[in-house]
């Protein structure tokens, strides 16, 4: 008897990016979350791919096609894993910026702080030095 794991609510569904917009089962927030994670994974894959390139070629550098495919696969899997874990943090920033209510509240908070006046303005002439 095989049991399939119950997905936790925090896990996002694995929807291919090209099918994400048309998926009727996902809410707008879930779509934003998944798109943010996938975008982070793409950025991480590009970073990891560049990091794996050797700076100086030598006789010990394997430039075969098989090695290139293996390195691309490792970069892809590692970037997906990092993006799903949420440890890097880019996806959270993207998600916050793409969520409509988060952007409106952040704008409102920054407007309130810029309009606020300090109760006791500091003046260099009024400061006493010992």
Q: What is the mean pLDDT of residues 69-76?
A: 89
| 3-state secondary structure at position 102 | helix
- Say if CB 91 and CB 32 are below 8 A apart: no
User: What DSSP string runs through 8-50?
Assistant: PTTSPP---GGGTTT-TTS-HHHHHHHHHHHHHHHHHHHHHHH
Residue 66: the pLDDT is: 85
Of 8-12, 49-53, 93-97, least confident by mean pLDDT is 8-12
Q: Quick check: 72 pLDDT over 80?
A: yes
Reported as a single tens digit per residue, the pLDDT across 37-63 is: 999 999 999 999 888 877 677 777 777
What is this structure's pTM? 0.59
């Amino acid at each position: 008897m095989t049991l399939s794991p119950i997905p936790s609510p925090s896990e996002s569904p694995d929807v291919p990016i090209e099918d994400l917009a048309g998926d009727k089962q996902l809410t707008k927030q879930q779509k934003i979350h998944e798109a943010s994670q996938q975008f982070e994974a793409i950025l991480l894959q590009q970073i990891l791919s560049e990091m794996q390139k050797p700076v100086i070629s030598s006789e010990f550098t394997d430039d075969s096609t098989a090695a290139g495919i293996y390195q691309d696969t490792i970069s892809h899997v590692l970037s997906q894993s990092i993006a799903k874990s949420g440890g890097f943090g880019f996806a959270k920033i993207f998600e916050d910026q793409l969520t409509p209510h988060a952007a409106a509240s952040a704008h409102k908070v920054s407007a309130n702080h810029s309009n606020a006046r300090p109760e006791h303005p500091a003046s260099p002439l009024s400061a006493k030095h010992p």
